[in-house]
Amino acid sequence: MPTVSAHCDIPCKIYDPVSAQLAALSVIRFMDLIAELDGKDKLSAAEHAQFSRLVAEKENHAEKAKHEVRVIWGDYFKQPQFAKFPDTHDLVHRIMLAGSACKQGIAREKGEELLNLINEFAEAFWATKGVNTYTATCPYPPEQQVVYPKLD
Each domain of the chain, given as residue ranges in start order, spans 18-149
CB 102 within 8 A of CB 41: no
Give tens-digit pLDDT for 54-69: 999 999 999 999 999 9
- Extract the residue ranges of the chain whose pLDDT is less than 70: 3-11
CATH superfamily of 18-149: Nickel-containing superoxide dismutase (1.20.120.400)
135: enclosing H helix or E strand:
strand 133-137
Per-residue confidence (pLDDT) for residue 89, from 0 to 100: 98
Per-residue confidence (pLDDT) for residue 6, from 0 to 100: 53
Give tens-digit pLDDT for 71-88: 999 999 999 999 999 999
Per-residue confidence (pLDDT) for residue 7, from 0 to 100: 53
Per-residue confidence (pLDDT) for residue 4, from 0 to 100: 53
- Burial degree of 32 (CB within 10 A; 0-12, 13-18, 19+): middle
Please calculate the CA angle 61-134-87 and round it to the nearest 5 degrees: 65
**Calpha distance 137→147 (Å, rounded):** 9
Query: For the chain, how far is it from start to end, CA to CA, in angstroms?
Result: 47
Q: What is the pTM of this model?
A: 0.92
* Nearest CA-CA partner of 115 in 18, 44, 7, 14: 18
